[in-house]
Structure 1
């Protein structure tokens, strides 16, 4: 998961609001699998890990929209991204390790170090890529995207629309081909390559980059916002009977499909919401509270699984439907409150402080094409 860049923050407010809903999808996914199911709702969010795919696409869209034409030096861009994600990462890892210590659960120093260095998702060992803070694996992917972004922007920013269209088609087809092409791998290895490895997940980020560039040039997505929301809901409902038919361990199960095949649908949703903002249309996603919740979503994403883990350890899993609902409500309220506190007292202040001491943002000359 990533956060909207500081430049032009909330310029597209509906995207900030969508961040909350995507984070909620991931939170409900973890609650369903780690605590217990709520009839009806849990089936719909059983593959809510797809919310991470949404954030990968969103990251590409927002970064392309923000930095296209800005000519910000690469070192400034990378420092801004580090300032944006690393302080909250470090705090969440410390919180996670502390909870594991209380649980008397062994913690790998190697995993914690790899997490803080943002390289943990490159390891095929589950104890490494989930060891510091299980939810933080996606930040390793994001760090790789950030390193690639200046080059991607230099390659694609000046291209014609048909290049972006063909790139979108190529990325989508590659995802469709990779999914069965890797079916012969051992289950754990296949899961790592498709679900965690930054190199493969970068396809989703690239899809977002070309979509963001197209939006910046005035492209109007053919799917309106209401229809795009309907597509996202329909996709997750289709996964329900699929789940009851195919076990998750099989390569053609909806587990990986829910993350890999959803990228174009999420791209359509993001572009439709952004276009509505640019046209001045109200979406219901950009109000004050939605903006506030969207701002908290990054910290919420990093904290919520730790709260679930601590609550299950202390109280055990509920044994009744009413108990599950109460448990869910307590975790949601507690984790979101902690996220709000973390955003206002750690995430934003640390970002501002690091940006002040980092490299200056003097635009590079227009004649230089290798920077940003």
Structure 2
């Protein structure tokens, strides 16, 4: 895996942790208005573009059946997610006061386990699973299903076929009567995965940006991601947040990181990014409960709370990653060839 992808995974995961930490501040310290510092939701958009890129990169030029592809994706995604989902459901059942965004509801739990969009019983206006950040996994498994079904096609036909399928899905969801499924899958955010596959094709064809333009694309992408997150609502996220994410990923993969110093801890957090993403909600809930119920007033200090959220979420994710990931004799990430 390209080392810059590991770096971006780590950055995207920590962006999401930061975003949710700021949201938790309103519960920890109700007198504090931290909305001016509410950033990081766009880490999800980086993840979606990265996902499409990685799926193309890991399957291009290889004979892989839809079953083999699905087996690998399920093995990586399902065990930890199911464990987190079942744990949340048990807590919601036996100690509901500990959770603010989840209540026990059996149909909701079953839908969550099978990655089906479902209105959250705690807030019916949202389409989120038991583990709320898992809404992105509902999309990811949908992407994987489409990608797997198109694997038997030749590579030259695969991306045009994906364009056609995604177009049909978006159009159908607009024309059909509104349901939870049409609302969820009819969001243009699904095009970010498609954009990532195109970037993967460009990378394999060695159609990359010159070095100075690559750095410019990376910097401009992050700048506009920051600016647009403040100015544009999530309803506009595909072009307001997705396009900067595309710039970020395309710029990063165009840069030869083998000529740059290797950042081991950031690379490792990239390995742990999935575990960090899934488990950070529990870490933040623990910090919120500790701030509410223990005589530790210092936890209500916003800067310290956010720092602790980032550090403890990273540590917690790393521990879960080490427990759930089989040991390998080779590193999961390597420097790109010179």
Tell me, yes or no, whether TM beats 0.5: yes
Q: Of 14, 23, 26, which aligns to 2:16?
A: 26
CA shift, 1:255, in A, is: 2.7
Q: Of 313, 318, 324, which aligns to 1:340?
A: 318
Q: CA 1:296–1:74 in 2, change beyond 3 Å: closer, same or farther?
A: same
Q: CA 1:132–1:237 in 2, change beyond 3 Å: closer, same or farther?
A: closer
Root mean square deviation, CA, Å: 4.0
Asked whether the equivalents of residues 208 and 267 of structure 1 are also in contact (C-alpha less than 8 Å), the reply is: yes
Q: CA 1:86–1:240 in 2, change beyond 3 Å: closer, same or farther?
A: closer
What residue ranges of structure 1 are gaps of 5+ in the alignment? 1-9, 243-252, 352-372
Q: Which moved further from structure 2: 48-57 or 88-97?
A: 88-97
Equivalent position of 2:326 in the other structure: 349
The 5 A counterparts of 1:36-75 are: 36=26, 43=36, 45-46=38-39, 48-75=40-67
The 5 A counterparts of 1:2-21 are: 10=1, 12-21=2-11
Matched, 1:212 2:239: no
Equivalent position of 1:141 in the other structure: 139
Q: Of 312, 323, 330, which aligns to 2:288?
A: 312
TM superposition score normalised by structure 1: 0.70
Q: CA 1:330–1:241 in 2, change beyond 3 Å: closer, same or farther?
A: closer
What residue ranges of structure 2 are gaps of 5+ in the alignment? 329-338
Matched, 1:300 2:276: yes
The 5 A counterparts of 1:175-254 are: 196-197=184-185, 200-221=188-209, 224-239=213-228, 242=231, 253-254=232-233
Residues 28-79 of structure 1 show CA distances to partners (whole Å, capped at 9, x for unaligned) of: 1111122149x99964643x22211111111110110110120111101100
Q: CA 1:111–1:241 in 2, change beyond 3 Å: closer, same or farther?
A: closer
CA distance in 2, matches of 1:138, 1:294: 17
Matched, 1:108 2:105: yes
CA shift, 1:99, in A, is: 4.4
TM superposition score normalised by structure 2: 0.76
Q: CA 1:74–1:155 in 2, change beyond 3 Å: closer, same or farther?
A: closer
CA distance in 1, matches of 2:300, 2:286: 20
Asked whether the equivalents of residues 228 and 272 of structure 1 are also in contact (C-alpha less than 8 Å), the reply is: yes
SS of corresponding position for 1:69? coil
CA shift, 1:137, in A, is: 1.3
Asked whether the equivalents of residues 141 and 201 of structure 1 are also in contact (C-alpha less than 8 Å), the reply is: no
CA distance in 2, matches of 1:315, 1:322: 7
CA distance in 2, matches of 1:305, 1:259: 25
CA distance in 2, matches of 1:147, 1:160: 14
Q: Of the two structures, which has the highest relative contact order with CA contacts closer than 8 Å and spacing of 6 or more? A: 1
CA distance in 1, matches of 2:42, 2:35: 14
Q: Of 240, 252, 270, which aligns to 2:249?
A: 270
Residues 323-367 of structure 1 show CA distances to partners (whole Å, capped at 9, x for unaligned) of: 112222222222221111110101x1399xxxxxxxxxxxxxxxx
Q: CA 1:23–1:198 in 2, change beyond 3 Å: closer, same or farther?
A: farther
Count residues with an aligned counterpart: 309
Residues 222-247 of structure 1 show CA distances to partners (whole Å, capped at 9, x for unaligned) of: 673321232233213423763xxxxx
Asked whether the equivalents of residues 118 and 139 of structure 1 are also in contact (C-alpha less than 8 Å), the reply is: yes
SS of corresponding position for 1:316? helix
